[in-house]
Amino acid sequence: MAGKTFTVLLIEDDSADREIITRVIDESGFSAKVDVVSTGDEALDYLLNTGREKGRDNVAPGLILLDLNLPGMSGFDLLQKLKAEPGVKNIPVIVLSTSDAPEDINQCYALGASSFVTKPSSLQGFVDIMRQIERYWFDIVSLPGQVA
Amino acid sequence: MDSLLQFFSTDNFMPHGHCYLWLPHILWLHVASDALIAMAYFAIPLALFRLARRRPDFGLNRTIYLFVGFIILCGLTHVMEIYTIWEPVYFQQGLIKALTAIVSVATAIAVWPLLPKLVAAPSLSQLEKANAKLERANAALKVSEARLELAVNAGGVGLWDWDIKTGEDWFSKVWLAHLGYQPGEVDYHFSTWEALLHPEDRERVMKELDAHIETGAAYKPQFRMRTKSGDYIWVEAFGEASRDEQGAPARMAGTLIDITAQKQRELENENNRLFLQSVLENVQDGIVACDEQGKLTLFNFAARRAHGMDAHEIDPKEWCTYYDLYEPDGETPLALHRAPLFRAMKGEMIECQEIVIAPKDLPVRRFLVKAMPLSNAEGKQIGAVAALHEVTVEREREEALRRSNIELEQFARVASHDLQEPLRKLITFSEFLKEDLGGVLNERVQADIDAISDSASRMKQLVSDILELSRLKGNEGPPEKVSPRACIETVMLRLSEGSLKGAEFSYEELPDVLADATLLTQVYQNLIVNALKFMPANRRPKISFTATTDGRTVVLGVKDNGIGIDPELEDYVFQPLSRLHSRDDYEGTGIGLAICKKAIERMGGRIWVAGGDDEGAHFKFELKAAVNSAID
C-alpha cells in the first residue's frame, strides 16, 4: 500500500485512550493518517464541515473508530446520526468499547456499525487487533474513500 | 129412711144358690171359677201398676190406671157372684156392676185413640235392630273422636272455643299443655288468654282479632305467650268467629300451635344471614353476584369501594362502561364478552382474570377476578358470582422490582464498563512504562510494575465475573428436556487441551432433566473448571459425572479427587467472592460456584456439596426429571 492514502477518524474523549490508541496505531504500523476528535459534536463538525470545522474541507475518512463512552452525545446517538447522513453513512464505523455487554454489541450492529471491538487490556492484544483492523479494512476490503 | 133401708133389704130375695138348686157340683164349679177369675183380675192390675211406676216413659199412665180400675172392678163383680150365692145382695151387686160398666166404657173409649200409637210403636226386634245400629254408630263415633283427638294432640294443635258474649273461653288439654298448664289449672275465660300474651305483641294481636270479628279478615297471628314457668313461647293462632241470628258476634273457635322451634330456626337463619352479610361486608375482596337476568344481587363494601359507588340496575351490556372496567393494560375498555361476571353468567368458570377498575376521580385498582355460575339445589343456574381480589399493591411492587432489576442490570453494565476502563488503562500503561524505561529494568522496578499490572488484571477479572453473575440468564423460556451428557460434551469442546490437565472422566448414566441447556452447560463448565483447579499439582485429575433419580427428580453430581471441601463451609462456598484458599495456592475469584447456585436455583433446583477433605469434592444438584418429555 502506498503511503498514507486513507484517513482514519478516531472519536475518543478519554485522553489516556487517545494516547493508547494513537500509540498502538503507530506501533502496529498503521498506514493511514489518524485524525482525532473527542466528542460527538466535534465528529459531526469534522465530517460535515460545519461549525468549527467549517471551510476546512476535510477529506472524508475511510474508516471511523468510535468510542461508545462519550460525554454529552453518546456513542450510540452519534452512530445513529452518522448513519442518517447521506455523505457519511457509507463510511464503515468500528466501535471500540471497554464493554462487552451483549446488549451494547447488538445495539451497535442494529444502528449500522460495521464491527464491534472490545478494547483489549494488554498492550500486545491491542497492537494485534489494530494490525488486524488495518489488514482487513485497508488491504482486504474496499472502502468508499478509495472509490472517491 | 125406711125406703132406703128397704132398698138395701134382702129379706125378700132368695140366695142365688137356689138357682143352682144347691147342687154342690154346680155351685162349687161357679164358686171356684169366679174365685180364680177374681184372683187373676186382682193380680193383673198389680202387675200393670208396677209397670206404670217403673216405666213412666211409656206415657200411658192414665190409660193404665183406667185399666187397673176396670180390671179390679171386673174382679169385684166375680167376688159378688160368689157372695150372692149365699147372700142375696143383688142391689149392691148391681151397683158394682154399674160402676164396672162405667169404667169399662171409659176404658174402651180411652183405648181407641191409643190404637194408632200402639200400632206404630216399634216392635221389640225392631228396637233391637235400631239399638245395634246405634251402638255401632256410637262405636264409630268413639273411634273417630279418638282419632281426631289423637291427630289434634299429636299435631300439637291446641283448641279453644270462646263465647264472645259471656267471655267464657274453653281451652283444650293441648292448648294448656303448650303453656305448661294442666286442665283445671286456669280460669276458662278470655282474660286468661289475654293475660298470657306478650306485652309487646298484645296490641298487634288484639287489633287483628278485632279486625277479624268486625270485617272477617283472616285471623292467623303469630305471637308470644307466657308459660307457667314464666318463659315465652312463640305460637300461631287460627280462629273463625260465628254470629247469632241477629248477626252479632257470638262465638269464636280455633287452634293454637307452638311455633317456637320454627321461630328459633327463623332466628338462626336471620343470624346466619346477618353473619354472612357482616362477613361479606368486611371481607377485603370485592364480591359481586347477579341473578340469571344480570340484576346485581350482591355488591359488598369492597366492591363499592373499588367502584366508588353502589350497584345500580342497568343492562349487563352497559356493565363495562358503567363500572369502568378495563383490560390489564388499564387503557383498553373491557369488552362485554370479557367481563368476568358476564362470562360466568353464560356458564363459564373463570379461575383467574386480571382486570383494572378505573372510575373517574378515583385511584386505578387492579384485581384478579374469580367468577363462577351459581346454581340452586336442583342444579339450575340462577346467576353468577365474582370475587375480586385486589392486586394493585402487588403489581406496583412487581413493577418496581422489575424496574429496579433493569436499573441494577444497567448499573452493573455501566459499572463494569466504567470500572474496567481504568483497569485496562492501568495494565496498558504499565506496559508502556516498561517500554518507556527501556529494555533493561531494575529488578525491583520490574516487580513493582508487574504487581501493578497483576492487581489491575485481577480486579478486571473480578469485575468481569461479577458482571457475568449479574447477567446470568438462560433462554428465558420454559424448562425443556435437556441431556446432561450433551452439556458436558459442549464444555469439553470449549476447554483447551492444556486446561484439562490430562484428566480422566467417567460417566454414570445421566437421565434427561427439565432445565435450560445454556444454564446447565454453564454449571457443568464451572464445576469442571473448579475440579481441575483445586487439584494438587502432582495428581492426575479424575472427574466422574454422577446421577441418581427417584423418577421425579434427578440428582446430578460432579465428583473429583481434588483437595475437597470441608462440608461445614458448604454454605460459604456458594456465596459470591468467597474463597477458601489463598491466591498463591489456587487461582479464583470465588464467583464460579455463586454462578452455579444462581443458575440451578433459576431452574428451580438446589445445589450442595458432599464429601470430606480426603475423597475430594462431590458437588450435587437436583433438577426435575424429564419423564417422557411431559412437563407438568
Question: Given an 8 Å threshold on Cβ–Cβ distance, is B417 in contact with A97?
Answer: yes
Average pLDDT of the segment spanning A41-67: 82
Q: Are residues B69 and B35 in the same domain?
A: yes
- C-alpha angle B443-B444-B445 in degrees, rounded to nearest 5: 95
| CATH of the domain spanning A7-139, picked from 3.30.460.80, 3.40.50.2300, 3.40.50.1370, 3.40.50.150 | 3.40.50.2300
Handedness of CA B258, B260, B263, B269 (dihedral sign): negative
Average pLDDT of the segment spanning B115-126: 79
Average pLDDT of the segment spanning B83-91: 88
Distance CA A82, CA A108 (A): 12
Q: Which of B 406-465 lie inside 8 A of A, CB atoms?
A: 413, 416-418, 420-421, 423-425, 427-429, 431-432, 456-457, 460
User: Does residue B350 carry a pLDDT above 70?
Assistant: yes
pLDDT at B511: 93
Chain A residues closer than 8 Å to B429 by CB = 16, 20
C-alpha distances (whole Å) from B116 to each of B63, B119, B160 are 15, 5, 49
- Measured between CA atoms, the residue of chain B closest to residue A100 is B417
Q: In the numeric block, which cell numbers belong to residue B259?
A: 311455633
Q: Are residues B223 and B90 in the same domain?
A: no
Contact B453, B427 (CB under 8 A): yes
Chain B residues closer than 8 Å to A20 by CB = 425, 428-429, 432
Residue B184 in any domain: the answer is: yes
Chain B residues closer than 8 Å to A122 by CB = 427-428, 431
B260 contact partners, CB below 8 Å, separation of at least 6: B233, B234, B235
User: Does residue B49 carry a pLDDT above 90?
Assistant: no
A134 contact partners, CB below 8 Å, separation of at least 6: A28, A29, A30, A31, A32
Distance CA A126, CA A114 (A): 19
pLDDT band for position B566 (cuts 50, 70, 90): confident
Q: In the numeric block, which cell numbers belong to residue B171?
A: 281451652
Cβ-count burial of B495 within 10 angstroms (0-12 exposed, 13-18 middle, 19+ buried)?
A: middle
User: Does residue B18 carry a pLDDT above 80?
Assistant: yes
pLDDT at B180: 92
pLDDT band for position B127 (cuts 50, 70, 90): confident
User: Does residue B384 carry a pLDDT above 60?
Assistant: yes
End-to-end CA distance of chain A: 17
Cβ-count burial of B49 within 10 angstroms (0-12 exposed, 13-18 middle, 19+ buried)?
A: middle
Chain B residues closer than 8 Å to A102 by CB = 471
Average pLDDT of the segment spanning B542-551: 92
Residue B404 in any domain: the answer is: yes
Question: Given an 8 Å threshold on Cβ–Cβ distance, is B417 in contact with A119?
Answer: no
pLDDT at B612: 56
Q: Which of B165, B191, B161 is nearest to B175 (CA)?
A: B161
Distance CA B559, CA B288 (A): 60
Q: Are residues B440 and B384 in the same domain?
A: no
CA distance, residue A31 to nearest chain B CA (Å): 22
Q: Are residues B516 and B565 in the same domain?
A: yes
A112-121, B248-257, B282-291: least confidently modelled range: A112-121
Q: Is B110 helix (H, G, I), strand (E, B) or coil?
A: helix
Distance CA A41, CA B30 (A): 187
Q: Which of A126, A125, A93, A90 is nearest to A107 (CA)?
A: A93
- Measured between CA atoms, the residue of chain B closest to residue A120 is B424
pLDDT at A130: 83
**CATH code of residue B178:** 3.30.450.20
Q: Which candidate from A69, A101, A121 shows the least CB-CB separation from B428? A: A121
Tens of pLDDT, residue by residue over B275-330, are 998 998 899 899 999 998 889 999 999 999 888 888 888 888 888 888 899 999 88
CA distance, residue A42 to nearest chain B CA (Å): 23
Q: Which of B571, B570, B559, B557 is nearest to B614 (CA)?
A: B559
Q: In the numeric block, which cell numbers belong to residue B268?
A: 338462626
pLDDT at B379: 87
Q: In the numeric block, which cell numbers belong to residue B374?
A: 351459581
A88-92, B50-54, B243-247, B390-394: least confidently modelled range: B50-54
pLDDT at B613: 53
pLDDT band for position B629 (cuts 50, 70, 90): very low
Q: Which candidate from A16, A99, A124 shows the least CB-CB separation from B417? A: A99
Is the ipTM here above 0.90? Answer: no
Q: Are residues B296 and B336 in the same domain?
A: yes
User: Does residue B86 carry a pLDDT above 80?
Assistant: yes
Q: Are residues B211 and B251 in the same domain?
A: yes
Q: Which candidate from A20, A101, A124 shows the least CB-CB separation from B425? A: A20
User: Does residue B589 carry a pLDDT above 70?
Assistant: no
Buried b or exposed e, range A31-67, using 16+ CB within 10 angstroms: bbebeebbbbbbbbbbbbeeeebeeeeeebbbbbbbb
Contact A9, A43 (CB under 8 A): yes
Contact B556, B547 (CB under 8 A): yes
- Measured between CA atoms, the residue of chain A closest to residue B457 is A121
pLDDT at A2: 42
pLDDT band for position B632 (cuts 50, 70, 90): very low
Count CB-CB contacts under 10 A for residue B38: 20
In eight-state DSSP terms, residue B627 is B
What does the DSSP assignment read for B44-57? HHHHHHHHHHH-GG
User: Does residue B456 carry a pLDDT above 80?
Assistant: yes
Question: pTM for this one?
Answer: 0.44
- Measured between CA atoms, the residue of chain A closest to residue B434 is A123
Alpha helices by DSSP H, B162-245 = 173-178, 190-196, 199-215
pLDDT at B631: 44
Buried b or exposed e, range B176-204, using 16+ CB within 10 angstroms: bbbbebeeeebebbbebbeebbbeebeee
A117-131, B365-379, B403-417: least confidently modelled range: B403-417
Average pLDDT of the segment spanning B384-406: 88
Question: Given an 8 Å threshold on Cβ–Cβ distance, is A69 in contact with B421?
Answer: yes
Q: In the numeric block, which cell numbers belong to residue B424?
A: 485496562
- C-alpha angle B82-B84-B88 in degrees, rounded to nearest 5: 170
Q: Which of A117, A101, A96, A121 is nearest to B470 (CA)?
A: A101
- Measured between CA atoms, the residue of chain B closest to residue A123 is B428
User: Furthest-apart CA pair in chain A: how many Å?
Assistant: 40
Q: Are residues B483 and B618 in the same domain?
A: yes
pLDDT at B630: 43
CA distance, residue A123 to nearest chain B CA (Å): 5
| Mutation for B interface: A69, A104, A107, A121, most B CBs within 10 A | A121
pLDDT at B546: 93
Return the higher-pLDDT residue of B578 and B483: B483
- Print the domain residue range for B455: 397-468
B169-183, B221-235, B567-581: least confidently modelled range: B567-581
Amino acid letter, residue B484: P
pLDDT at B458: 82
A19-28, B316-325, B377-386: least confidently modelled range: A19-28
Cα B559 versus chain centre, distance: 63
Tens of pLDDT, residue by residue over A6-16, are 788 999 988 88
Beta bridge partners, B189, equal: B168
Q: In the numeric block, which cell numbers belong to residue B491?
A: 464444555
Q: Are residues B295 and B362 in the same domain?
A: yes
- C-alpha angle A61-A63-A69 in degrees, rounded to nearest 5: 110
A35-39, B9-13, B154-158, B327-331: least confidently modelled range: B9-13
> Interhelix angle for B392-436 vs B443-471, to 10°?
160
Chain A residues closer than 8 Å to B456 by CB = 121
pLDDT at A147: 42
Q: Is A23 on the interface with B (CB under 8 A)?
A: yes
pLDDT at B581: 67
Residue tagged 157372695 (cell numbers) = B83
Residue B309 in any domain: the answer is: yes
Q: Are residues B500 and B564 in the same domain?
A: yes
pLDDT at A34: 86
pLDDT at B611: 67
Q: Are residues B608 and B483 in the same domain?
A: yes
- Measured between CA atoms, the residue of chain A closest to residue B473 is A102
Q: Is A126 on the interface with B (CB under 8 A)?
A: yes
Q: Are residues B403 and B508 in the same domain?
A: no
Distance CA A3, CA A32 (A): 8
Residue B104 in any domain: the answer is: yes
Distance CA B54, CA B52 (A): 6
CA distance, residue A25 to nearest chain B CA (Å): 14
Which is it for strands B222-226 and B296-299: parallel, antiparallel or unpaired? unpaired
User: Which of B426, B448, B468 marks a domain boundary?
Assistant: B468
Structural domain total, chain B: 5
Distance CA B536, CA B616 (A): 11
Residue tagged 438462560 (cell numbers) = B474
User: Does residue A1 carry a pLDDT above 50?
Assistant: no
Residue B412 in any domain: the answer is: yes
CA distance, residue A139 to nearest chain B CA (Å): 27
User: Which of B450, B468, B486 marks a domain boundary?
Assistant: B468
User: Which of B446, B468, B490 marks a domain boundary?
Assistant: B468
pLDDT at B59: 66
Average pLDDT of the segment spanning B400-424: 79
Based on C-alpha coordinates, what's the Rg of chain A? 14
Beta bridge partners, B547, equal: B556
pLDDT at B362: 84
Q: Which candidate from A17, A102, A122 shows the least CB-CB separation from B427? A: A122
Q: Are residues B295 and B347 in the same domain?
A: yes
Q: Which of B386, B306, B398 is nearest to B352 (CA)?
A: B386
Q: Where are the domains of chain A?
A: 7-139
User: Does residue B466 carry a pLDDT above 80?
Assistant: no
Contact B487, B597 (CB under 8 A): no
Q: Which of A80, A71, A138, A143 is nearest to A108 (CA)?
A: A80
User: Does residue A93 carry a pLDDT above 80?
Assistant: yes
Distance CA B620, CA B523 (A): 11
pLDDT band for position B193 (cuts 50, 70, 90): very high
B30-39, B330-339, B446-455, B486-495: least confidently modelled range: B446-455
Distance CA A34, CA A8 (A): 5
Q: How much of chain B, in percent, has pLDDT values that exceed 90? A: 38
Q: Which of B126, B128, B32 is nearest to B82 (CA)?
A: B32
Q: Is B513 on the interface with A (CB under 8 A)?
A: no
- The pLDDT mean for chain B works out to 86
Question: Given an 8 Å threshold on Cβ–Cβ distance, is A122 in contact with B429?
Answer: no
Q: In the numeric block, which cell numbers belong to residue B482?
A: 435437556
CA distance, residue B480 to nearest chain A CA (Å): 24
Which is it for strands B249-258 and B158-163: parallel, antiparallel or unpaired? antiparallel
